[in-house]
Amino acid sequence: MGANTFITAGPAGELNEVFELVADASRWEDGHSYSGAIGMKDSVILLDTRVLSTEKEAVTYATDLLNADDPRISDKWGPAGAIQWLGGWVFVGWASS
């Protein structure tokens, strides 16, 4: 089995509720087995307490964390990471594929 990175946007709301909504939608769309998408994740961690201004800023930060191989999100079996911006959430990480 391999692993893929993902960066997935979600709406505003309580972190765990939005994560479940986005992960469930991914499982529905991509299937339940080794899609390399956020649907492979069963937990989420907040990566930063800052609330960024734009989704673009959050995606750039997520990309930087992936490029740096940040240990909080580098385990394909570990949690997804979450970055909040004023309009919602960006989820990032590695997932089994």
Whole-prediction pTM: 0.92
- Its domain, for residue 72, covers 3-96
How does pLDDT run across 19-30, given as a tens digit for each residue?
Answer: 999 999 998 887
64, 52 Cβ separation under 8 angstroms: no
Q: CA dist 9 to 1, 2, 18, 85, Å?
A: 25, 23, 10, 10
How many domains does the structure of the chain reveal? 1
pLDDT: which is higher, 60 or 96: 60
